[in-house]
Amino acid sequence: MYRDFYQLRERPFELNPVEQSIYLSETHQEAISLLKYGILADKGFLLLTGGVGTGKTTIINTVLSGINQNIKICLINNPSLTRDEFFQYLSKELGFVGIKNKIDFLGSFKKLLNEIKAEGGRVLLIIDEAQVLSVELFEEIRLLSNQEQGGGCLGIFFIGQPELQEKLSNPRLLPLRQRIGLKYHLEPLSDDDVWQYITFRIQRAGGVHSAIFDKSAVEYIGKVSKGNPRLINIICDQALITGYTQELQSIDIKVIKDALKDVCFPEETGLQVSEEDQTSSGGNITAWLLLSGAVFLSGLFFYALYKSGKLQPLFNLLNSYLQ
């Protein structure tokens, strides 16, 4: 819709960008380096947390693509499973056949670890959205690490939202916490990162003019998105649509505020409008309510005067004037 108007080769703010359009802030790069080290240095259990839309999946994909060693990866991205479902899923992902129960699985799993270790490889179990795991399943996962003989070939990677850290504080999970060799919490983008992020995505989309968004717009985007890359994408994409419909070559703060009206409800996206904007948007309603109240009270006042007969001289004067 707006690509030709803004001279773009593709939409710059897709939620799932191609690899060359992925922006890695200093925080993202630090997380990637640290987690890559944790995998290669056999730090055992790894933990990555961050809010929704902060780029956890991007980091994992980047980490895995940068490791050239022989690693067998098993990814669980929907861990709302019972214990039996968990072992069934792992069996399928690891290529086990004839697994009827947990005992069968543990035997096959131990054999696999020994074979991969002999080949100089590793097994990496990645659990995404780990905050939904039950305490019982956390314990089962911890016990899997006991299947290694001498260690060195099994890594377990927990990825989740910030509440994952609170869940791991459960006293029953103390043995698991003590095995976490490395953890990292992903922070939102800084104000400078937001500017660089938007510029980077526009340039990667073939934008001739990378400064489509002016300074006021970028600052406001950073404010309402709180540095969340996913929300930045949503806001910027809608702003380009709004700017196109208004035939504006430059996106300013007014366009951003207009675009936010068409995104979705604040409680669904986490977007928060500033107090001054709330005052501005609610100003007309407040003025209307005050005016209505004033008219209503005035009506009551004159009605009381009429019932008391105090307005009769005025009516007589008007009547004589009209005659």
Q: What are phi and psi of 233, to 5 degrees?
A: -60, -45
pLDDT at 274 over 90: no
> Per-residue pLDDT tens for 161-191?
999 999 999 999 999 999 999 999 999 999 9
This prediction's pTM: 0.75
pLDDT given for residue 205 in this prediction: 87
Contact 23, 196 (CB under 8 A): yes
Contact 171, 141 (CB under 8 A): no
Q: How far apart are CA 238 and CA 199, in angstroms?
A: 16
Angstrom CA distances, 76 to 79, 118, 253, stand at 6, 25, 41
SS3 126: strand
> Per-residue pLDDT tens for 193-249?
999 999 999 998 888 766 899 999 999 999 999 999 999 999 999 999 999 999 999
- Side by side, the strands of the sheet bearing 154-160 are 71-76, 122-127, 154-160, 45-50, 180-186
Of 148, 144, 141, which Cα lies nearest the Cα of 111?
148
- The residue count of the chain comes to 323
